[in-house]
Chains A and B, each alone.
Chain A
Amino acid sequence: MPLLNMNDVHKSYMMAGNALHILKGVSFTVQAGDMVAITGASGSGKSTLMNIIGLLDRHDQGSYQLAGNEVSHHHDDALAALRNKNIGFVFQSFHLLQRLTAVDNVMQPLMYRHDAMTVATMRQTAMAVLEKVGMADRAHHHPNQLSGGQQQRIAIARALVGSPTLLLADEPTGALDREMSEDVMHLFHRLNQQEGVTMVLITHDPEVAAQCGRRLTIDDGYMSSC
């Protein structure tokens, strides 16, 4: 069974009284261990698709199964729990909380897991993941004391800390220079190949897309593989 299975997903928005049809029947699957790039021009529906994959938004029509759950009719709280457990977000502009140290940022998802994990255990787990992304020595730095590449590594650690079934990255190298981009992509490859982390990368950078095992393109609300 695929880890992610989207079938004929539609989404439209109301804009100034007009229905704006963004996704016009998107179908695709992602298997566990895949590293998939979704590319598309701006306005193609890329961001909308990413929000729906990430359970931040709901589709209007079609079915979407994530890790065996049909999420179409889930309640908001259930979606939050699914996000917490199954999805690790990596954003273009890192989206770290400036007021927290690196390790505190990384352990945030565990804080919302509502299980009996103690804070000490959460910190331990967070430190282990920081080690994995090579940032253990920066654990007690605040984000503004770190470079963009370092911040993105912290963000990746945060995405991984809850052992999600899917790592969802939105333009993960968009805010980084070439060297740092390569560094982050290298980390992604290592995580995918050594740790078996399933990845979906949303990007418009063909170089990044070329490094993924599968490439999907979204154009004017339709999905095609290439």
Chain B
Amino acid sequence: MLIRHIKTAGNSLYTAKQRTLLALLGMSIGIASVIAMLSVGLMYGEETMRQYQALGSDMLSIGYQREPRDNSSDDSDSDRKKPAMTAALVQALPEHLHSIAMAAPEANSYAWFDFDGTSGYVWDFIGTTQNYRALNGIKIQQGRFISDLDAHQHTVVLSGDFLNTKAFRTYKKNIIGATIMLRDREYHIVGVLAENAMLNSAGGNVIRKTAYTHISNMRQQRDGRTVGVVHAKLTAGADAAQTAEAIEQYFAKRVSGLKVKVIFSKSLIERKQKQANMQTLLLTVIGAIAMLVAGVGIMNVMLTSVTERKQEIGILRAIGARQADIRWQFFIEAVILSLLGGAIGTALGVAAAYGYAQVQELTFFVSTFAIFVGVGVSTAIGIIFGLYPAHKAAKLDPITALRAV
């Protein structure tokens, strides 16, 4: 009987081609956009996680603990010298703590640059040491990164986007060895980073002009601090909590009043994962709303169909169709419509996600979650939004239905 119902449903859907096509269009577009949105979201999430995990879960950063705010403080107070981590202390860290494999200080500032008649703003002028490259997984396209031998040498490594500027473009391959003015001082360019060389702290790629030099070239900030943050890596098998404590003691013992805060990349990754989950949830909710709209569309089409086919319902009832037969017929029509729309929409959505992945150079994958959403939700819509019209059709009074034109 089910096969007969499906055949009948197929037949009547085929007869009402225009109505069927419109319903399918609405349904497919709804499902397609949800699948595409979910897939792209999930691909971005995966990509970010991959990049974070490439850094390793054994990474940690050391920053200053925020001091409790002093009510009597005024503007002049910010000039007061605060206890600071020094480059020398940071570089000695692995010698004193076996749980630290490697460490690099980072002094963050900004600079105005002049190069061959062009000038501009360098958003991040970073002072660091040789290990910074290994710790952050930086890729170089030309020359080399800052070395420990560069101490007090005015050498600089530029981010790849410098080359997009006209003045630098003309140099292209000869940029190594050229000089650039930074903070009114002459620096020799020794290297250029690859584009997308590393992640910034927000998890995106470095997209603004950044220059790296040896930390010895950096001046103290107004608060007396040069090193702003320290990047470090745990020795394999080291205990994170114990290491954190050891680091805090290491600095506290050597600089009076210095309180540092240790953050492990593992917790960063976990936070990132949570963010990604939240994002997926949000997309799912938006998707659910889109699906609801598609479902109302299906219901509308089915209700129209019931009204238009009143006479048919009357005829079928007269020749002996039970209410259940009529209910099944309309219900199956709605489910077929939703499933077909779901299938087309899923295909379109996956194709769109594939196209986007190609353009954005993301790793494409068909997420089972997205497919589940496509198939599951369209079935659910067919069932939920098909029930009412089917019920309405079944409950029609045969006499009234027969009289309908």
Contact = CB atoms under 8 A, between A and B. Distances in A.
Interface of A: 51, 54, 56-57, 76-77, 80-81, 83-85, 89, 91, 95-100, 108-109, 111-114, 119, 158, 162
Contacts of A109: 319-320
Interface in B1-36: 1, 4, 11-12, 15
Contact of B12 (A95, A99, A113): A99
Contacts of A97: 312, 315
Interface in B290-320: 311-312, 314-320
Nearest to B405: A93
B325 interface: yes
B286 interface: no
B182 to A, nearest CB: 80
Contacts of B311: 95
B29 to A, nearest CB: 28
Task: Tell me whether chain B's interface is mostly helix, strand or loop, or mixed.
Answer: helix
B319 A89 contact: yes
Given A97-B312, A99-B11, A57 B320 contact: no
A51 B399 contact: yes
Report which residue of B12, B311, B319, B325 has the largest number of chain A beta carbons within 10 angstroms of its beta carbon.
B319
Contacts of B325: 112
A112 B319 contact: yes
B322 A77 contact: yes
Nearest to B318: A89
A165 to B, nearest CB: 13
A108 B322 contact: no
B392 to A, nearest CB: 16
Interface of B: 1, 4, 11-12, 15, 311-312, 314-325, 398-399, 402
A56 B401 CA distance: 11
Given A91-B402, A162-B320, 10 more contacts: A76-B322, A80-B317, A80-B321, A85-B320, A89-B319, A95-B314, A97-B315, A109-B319, A112-B320, A112-B325
Nearest to B395: A76
A57 B319 contact: no
A96 B402 CA distance: 11
B3 to A, nearest CB: 9
B319 A114 contact: no
Contacts of B321: 80, 84, 112
Contacts of A51: 399
A111 B1 CA distance: 8
A56 B399 contact: yes
Please name the 3 residue pairs, one residue from A and one from B, whose CB atoms are nearest each other, closest first.
Answer: A84-B320, A99-B15, A80-B322
A159 B198 CA distance: 80
A114 B315 CA distance: 18
B397 to A, nearest CB: 9
Report which residue of A57, A99, A119, A162 has the largest number of chain B beta carbons within 10 angstroms of its beta carbon.
A99
Contacts of B316: 108, 112
Contact of B318 (A54, A96, A162): A54
B268 to A, nearest CB: 63
A119 B325 CA distance: 17
A158 B319 contact: yes
A100 B11 contact: yes
Contacts of B320: 80-81, 83-85, 109, 112-113, 162
Nearest to B311: A95
Contact of A57 (B1, B322, B399): B399
A110 to B, nearest CB: 9
B149 to A, nearest CB: 87
12 contacts: A51-B399, A56-B398, A56-B402, A57-B399, A80-B320, A80-B322, A81-B322, A84-B321, A97-B312, A98-B15, A99-B12, A109-B319
B314 to A, nearest CB: 8
A114 B1 contact: yes
Contact of A95 (B11, B15, B399, B402): B402
A79 to B, nearest CB: 9
Nearest to A114: B1
Contacts of A83: 317-320
Contacts of A98: 15
A185 B63 CA distance: 102
B170 to A, nearest CB: 74
Contacts of B1: 114
Nearest to B5: A111
B398 A84 contact: no
Contacts of B4: 111, 119
Contact of B323 (A76, A96, A108, A119): A76
Nearest to A158: B319
A84 B318 CA distance: 8
B12 A84 contact: no
